[in-house]
Structure 1
């Protein structure tokens, strides 16, 4: 049982474990703390995403869905082993699970009881990592990804003084879930234990994302002046969706909105879904080159 790590402490712990990190814009204040408590924390839950593609998955986990607001985890672990931080605080990832499992995690027992009730809020007690995988039992788990998953889990265990027994799969928390598929949690905990038996490695330097993370529809509606707007406009021109007489950017204008509406229509959106205000899915498809933190 412990107080959650601060954003700075989390970053330091992950880098000290040799994790390659991307800190996405807004992750430090992206949480669901207004909907319930965050902490005391007791462990780490590992998930698979049932998605493919890093950018789209990161955007989904940062923003969430209409029926499940983001963040959907604290970090997304890509196939190449990069850990993308998307949330800091309470996140919608674990959901309700078995209180007997929580008590076993707190006691760091080597064997967990089978979950058969949903009487405890896991979002209060667990960090969560969503790992990019289709979850069909066939999609491979590259060594770089498994290594990063073990390093990220070990970083949190080391920071809190936990053993590998504090790391569980979503399917071990609740009988309503099957993730992660494709490896056993016993084998994964052995990886984490191996990491914990080693000394922390030299901290890694921050990695910049390839594409600009989605800053949110509300950001555009504030009429921003930013190089992000310029980069977006250039991409819209390059894909044949320009409504610009001048420019584009850096000041958001009606020309940007009309150009983006052309892009939405090109993707097949109609009506209010093609109103020119960027959304997470269309933004991911546009692949705006990374230019800055928003």
Structure 2
């Protein structure tokens, strides 16, 4: 469960996983958001297209058809493993499905048999359409299956989800058969292997709020500070957002309160460390630093990455400046400093993780 990634962060997550990505037209703003909610998102849904030929497949997934307007997904995964991005935001891919399945995805438990269509899936899932006739005979090339695995893992990694956040359309909506030709159990196994140690497992027994106990079952307490997000806290404590959600029974991981006590795994977990303010003069054209990358990633995580077309990266650019300005304008206490250059107050509010 999470706020949807920005389009820039979505693209970056796919590329960082090693996927070949093609951006199709104005995919970042091509959506159906005027027709319903988009988010919070809970997982990734896999489909097959019942089409042949990459160009025709991409066209129909982008434009839709008379009875169902496009986009019909966020990305099309072609036979050769290329991912074509055709839309972002609400997309007509999931339709109505079973609320019990949705709850299982949120809880990262095995999904029950879908027997109802009472919940809007277009608002809750990222969707990938995979080029295949869906007749059980059309082959699934190894490179395509690898791309599906990478795409699903990329979004799980970005949100701190485990492999049980990945489902097929056939597991969501009664009567659907897609994807046909491989099992979702096998795909989830591939995603789990790809995520490795970052994949959250079942909740561990709680040994209390102190640092007593030994091994991975022990927990300690962290106090939420101003500017903290669950992703920053998870990174500092070498765990995942999904694990923190389970440990603390959080209903909305995007809502934290200053002073809130959270259980975190491990013994005597360290406090979150932030990058010291490097000074306003640090931010100028020609600056190349890992601090700039960390700041950009923090802006994206907070939802202020719309000016990035590539990156964020180590070079200070006008996109960084514009995103900082958007962040400053979003906060009354910083609006007076909204020039796009981080000052001490802006830097303290950003909470850039130490690099």
TM-score range, shorter chain: 0.5 to 0.7
Deviations 1:1-51 (A, max 9, x none): 100011100011001100110011110110000000000000000000000
Verify: 1:36 aligned to 2:22, yes or no: no
CA distance in 1, matches of 2:12, 2:136: 33
CA distance in 2, matches of 1:76, 1:118: 25
CA distance in 1, matches of 2:19, 2:129: 15
Runs of 4+ in 1 over 3 A off after TM superposition: none
Residue of structure 2 equivalent to 1:54: 54
Residue of structure 1 equivalent to 2:79: 79
CA distance in 2, matches of 1:35, 1:176: 24
Partner SS, residue 183 of structure 1: coil
Residue of structure 2 equivalent to 1:147: 146
What is the correspondence of 1:182-221 to structure 2 with a 5 Å cutoff?
182-197=181-196
CA distance in 2, matches of 1:172, 1:187: 14
CA distance in 2, matches of 1:198, 1:12: 21
CA distance in 1, matches of 2:85, 2:194: 21
CA distance in 2, matches of 1:42, 1:198: 21
* Inter-CA distance 117–29: structure 2 relative to 1 (3 Å threshold): same
Residue of structure 2 equivalent to 1:121: 120
Residue of structure 2 equivalent to 1:27: 27
Residue of structure 2 equivalent to 1:231: none
Residue of structure 1 equivalent to 2:321: none
Partner SS, residue 44 of structure 1: strand
What is the correspondence of 1:1-294 to structure 2 with a 5 Å cutoff?
1-109=1-109, 111-197=110-196
**Structure 2 unaligned residues grouped into runs of 5+:** 199-355
* Inter-CA distance 13–198: structure 2 relative to 1 (3 Å threshold): farther
TM-score for both structures, normalised by structure 2: 0.55
CA distance in 2, matches of 1:50, 1:104: 28
Q: How far 1:176 sits from its partner (Å)?
A: 2.0
Residue of structure 1 equivalent to 2:265: none
Residue of structure 1 equivalent to 2:203: none
Partner SS, residue 122 of structure 2: helix
Deviations 1:251-284 (A, max 9, x none): xxxxxxxxxxxxxxxxxxxxxxxxxxxxxxxxxx
Partner SS, residue 139 of structure 2: coil
Residue of structure 1 equivalent to 2:229: none
CA distance in 1, matches of 2:122, 2:188: 21
Figure out how many residues of one structure are paired with residues of the other and give that number.
198
CA distance in 2, matches of 1:77, 1:180: 12
CA distance in 1, matches of 2:88, 2:114: 27
Partner SS, residue 177 of structure 1: coil
CA distance in 1, matches of 2:179, 2:11: 24
Partner SS, residue 83 of structure 2: strand
CA distance in 2, matches of 1:147, 1:71: 24
Deviations 1:146-181 (A, max 9, x none): 000000000000000000100000000011210000
TM-score for both structures, normalised by structure 1: 0.67
Partner SS, residue 124 of structure 1: coil
* Inter-CA distance 197–23: structure 2 relative to 1 (3 Å threshold): same
CA distance in 2, matches of 1:125, 1:102: 9
